[in-house]
Amino acid sequence: MDLATLIGFLGGLGIIIGAIATGGDVMLFVNTPSVLIVIGGTFMVTLMGIPLPDFLRSFGVALKAFINKREDPTI
């Protein structure tokens, strides 16, 4: 795993959690319909744009960002 990936992911998550914690009521940041529209809409538009096998393979590719070692470009 690339250290920058982990730092970026945890840093982004920390910033979001910090903003929620300092903003007062946590429920102000939780809006189920909005989450469904954004995440569901993203998945559906992606499905419209690429073939289903490529879409399903994308989850494995995203997982590689966190579990695989970087490949040596000189090989």
Query: Is residue 45 included in any domain, yes or no?
Result: yes
pTM to 2 decimals?
A: 0.53
pLDDT at 64: 83
Packing angle, helices 3-22 and 52-67, rounded to 10 = 90
Query: What is the DSSP code string of 22-69?
Result: HTS-GGGG--HHHHIIIIIHHHHHHHHHS-HHHHHHHHHHHHHHHHSP
DSSP 73: T
pLDDT-based confidence at residue 1 (cuts at 50, 70, 90): low
Indicate whether 73 belongs to any domain.
no
23 band by pLDDT with thresholds 50, 70 and 90: confident
Domain count, the chain: 1
- Expressed in angstroms, the distance from the first to the final Cα of the chain is 18
Answer yes or no: is 14 within a domain: yes
Expressed as residue numbers, the domain containing 25 is: 3-67
Q: Is residue 74 part of a domain?
A: no
